[in-house]
Structure 1
Amino acid sequence: MMRDVYFLVLPQVMALDLTGPAEVLALSGAFRLHYIGPQAEIATSTGMTISRVEPLPVSLPPESIVVLAGVADSRHQLDSPPALEAKRWLQEHRLAFQERTWTLVCVCSGSLLAGRAGLLDGYRCTTHHDVMERLRQQAPAALVRDNRIFVEDRGVFTSAGITAGIDLALYLVSQYVGPQQAMAVAREMVVYFRRGGDDPQLSPWLRHRNHLHPAVHRAQDILAHEPEAEWRLDELARQVFMSSRHLTRLFREHLGLSVREYHEQLRLAVAQQRLQQGQGIEKSALAAGFSSSRQLRRAQLRWHD
């Protein structure tokens, strides 16, 4: 199912706040991108002009995602007439966000605009470190978190500065489409997925992908496609056309893990997903490829103690 994403753009929008997340979502092939705002043509922070921006709509389809990108000088530009018009539009549709009819995504100082509109009241959130205190002052009911790449709270997503918008967009792809597709997009863009907040379930799928060795990526793809299977090292090595010893050395060099350790992390992620779905620990363990709940608990202790 294609999901509609609406980027609310203001004059002097930070170019990478806009284009970084947009590129991630476009590459995933699962989102329709729209650009809306108070003005039909705007200049970005880099001087590039964006034209044919659609007017702020009366409403949006259910399950739409609204992205607020940051601006170059939020101290002054968020008091401009276009920003005030955008703020009023957000306030008019506050209920749609509260009831999670629409999803709110803020990149960098976009959190300030959302905070001023009252959309972050009672929500855990974050923003660029340079404007963190201003967010606390302008949205005193928001639960602002320091030192986070991004924060998710009940359908409201906020991220830190600039490139953190790419990290958040990859997380959205993993949530809506799946971790395999997010991993593929990250590899296509040659970026490293930095997990944020308290989302350890994503790290095994995406965290160890910040290298460029094609054979290691192929081995990771094979393991990630069927983590519950009993993968023998020699069989895995044969599928990527190298010796077991060489594959082991490459995993250590590029991941800092053995093949067995990486495989176990994937299995733990599968088990955790099953547990979150309400399945019992024994059933979750078996579904992830562990021989028993006892083996699962031992693995959890190895990685979480």
Structure 2
Amino acid sequence: MSQGPGDTPHVIPVFVLLPPQTLLLDVAGPLEVLRYANEQQKKMRFVCHYIAVQPNQTTTIGLGLCGLEPLPDVLPAHAMILISGSSSMAPQQPEASKERRALSGWLRRTVSPDTTIVSICSGALIAAEAGLFDGHSCTTHAHCIADLKRIAPLALVQENRLFVEDGKRFSSAGISTGIDLILHLVSTLVSPEVAARIAQIMVVYLRRTTHDPQISPWLSGRNHIHPSIHRAQDAIVANPAEDWTLAHLADIANLSQRHLSRLFREQTGLSVVDYVNLIRVTLARDIISQSRLDMEAVAERSGFASARHLRRIWQQHHEKPPTAFRNLSS
């Protein structure tokens, strides 16, 4: 339902927690998603506050952050706390360690049952020190997994995941996966259409999901720089259900059909048909994990001729049946 001109948007207060030696991309990427979310729709507004122990903060690239708000004594209802990663875990940094303990202590005192926790990269370690992941599934950067298990023995630490959602606890592997996680949140809180539009604006090829490994199928065959092949791939990813004939894609790539076939396999390691099927089956998996549509509807939306066709291609990519992915999201 569209909003009328007099309607007031629902406000979500977002508190961005900045530890010493903040990884700036952990902040900039996710917060750009929220900025675009505010621009792209009117029903929900993310109001962001940048908070730290001190009014100035250091970053890993030497750029200073200033004018930061102090840690609030009380959080508003239904607040979101986004915890950035940092490089301040080394024991030879006593001042940074003291500040991190202050942050985890503040979290322990302040977080309430209606607070949403979002950790990016090693920010999970600060949340873990506060006990916020006890009894919850979570993840972090691959280099920090052992530390997370040590700090939070009661947490259910997941390895090789882009991000993990467990109730009001969200955690990501870090760096670019923070963008994936916030896109997922925007998709859930606002709409999938808005999230997809933001991904397109930010030139993120396509959102990845909470059950993806850290190497996503959406990015398969993208490790090349050939512009014509990227154009064909962009078209397929933007609309996997399209009837993608070789002639149609050759027109988009501005190549002959024979040249496209040769170049596509040369640059991506996949045939055009195999790539289209990979993207379609990945879309089908996302639809299955996020909806209750029957298999015929899933097949139609993801570009397969029938549920039988979908299942045949599915078996080439997944050991588990489609229902296993649906169970993960229930």
User: Matches of 1:270 and 1:135 in 2, distance apart?
Assistant: 31
* 3-state SS of 2:134 partner: coil
Aligned residue number for residue 185 of structure 1 = 202
Matches for 1:149-228 after TM superposition, within 5 Å:
150-160=163-173, 164-173=174-183, 176=186, 177-178=194-195, 181-182=198-199, 185=202, 198-199=211-212, 203-228=216-241
- Out of 119, 123, 128, the position equivalent to 2:136 is 123
Aligned residue number for residue 26 of structure 1 = 32
- Out of 270, 282, 288, the position equivalent to 1:275 is 288
Against the structure 1 CA distance between its residues 46 and 241, is the aligned structure 2 distance closer, same or farther, given a 3 Å change threshold? closer
Q: Which moved more, 1:171-180 or 1:215-224?
A: 171-180
Aligned residue number for residue 41 of structure 1 = 56
Unaligned regions of 5+ residues in structure 1, if any? none
Q: Deviations over 1:284-303 (max 9, x none)?
A: 21222222111111111122
Aligned residue number for residue 70 of structure 1 = 86
2:139 and 2:163 in contact (8 A); partners too: yes
Q: What is the CA distance between 1:23 and its match in structure 2?
A: 3.4
Matches for 1:291-302 after TM superposition, within 5 Å:
291-302=305-316
The alignment's TM-score, normalised by the length of structure 2, stands at 0.73
Paired residue type of 1:64: M
Against the structure 1 CA distance between its residues 275 and 69, is the aligned structure 2 distance closer, same or farther, given a 3 Å change threshold? closer
Aligned residue number for residue 15 of structure 2 = 6
Aligned residue number for residue 106 of structure 1 = 120
Percent identical: 35
Q: What is the CA distance between 1:3 and its match in structure 2?
A: 6.7
User: Matches of 2:311 and 2:15 in 1, distance apart?
Assistant: 43
Paired residue type of 1:165: I
* 3-state SS of 2:175 partner: helix
Against the structure 1 CA distance between its residues 207 and 186, is the aligned structure 2 distance closer, same or farther, given a 3 Å change threshold? farther
1:71 and 1:77 in contact (8 A); partners too: no
Against the structure 1 CA distance between its residues 216 and 24, is the aligned structure 2 distance closer, same or farther, given a 3 Å change threshold? farther
* 3-state SS of 2:55 partner: coil
The alignment's TM-score, normalised by the length of structure 1, stands at 0.78
User: Matches of 2:250 and 2:218 in 1, distance apart?
Assistant: 20
1:127 and 1:159 in contact (8 A); partners too: yes
Against the structure 1 CA distance between its residues 217 and 54, is the aligned structure 2 distance closer, same or farther, given a 3 Å change threshold? same
Q: What is the CA distance between 1:62 and its match in structure 2?
A: 3.8
User: Matches of 1:147 and 1:206 in 2, distance apart?
Assistant: 16
Against the structure 1 CA distance between its residues 273 and 131, is the aligned structure 2 distance closer, same or farther, given a 3 Å change threshold? closer
Q: Which moved more, 1:128-137 or 1:276-285?
A: 128-137
Against the structure 1 CA distance between its residues 147 and 281, is the aligned structure 2 distance closer, same or farther, given a 3 Å change threshold? closer
Against the structure 1 CA distance between its residues 212 and 129, is the aligned structure 2 distance closer, same or farther, given a 3 Å change threshold? closer
Against the structure 1 CA distance between its residues 298 and 129, is the aligned structure 2 distance closer, same or farther, given a 3 Å change threshold? closer
- The question of 1:230 aligning with 2:243 is answered yes
Against the structure 1 CA distance between its residues 239 and 61, is the aligned structure 2 distance closer, same or farther, given a 3 Å change threshold? farther
Q: Deviations over 1:206-256 (max 9, x none)?
A: 444333222222212222232222121112211332111122222212221
Aligned length: 289
User: Matches of 2:248 and 2:284 in 1, distance apart?
Assistant: 24
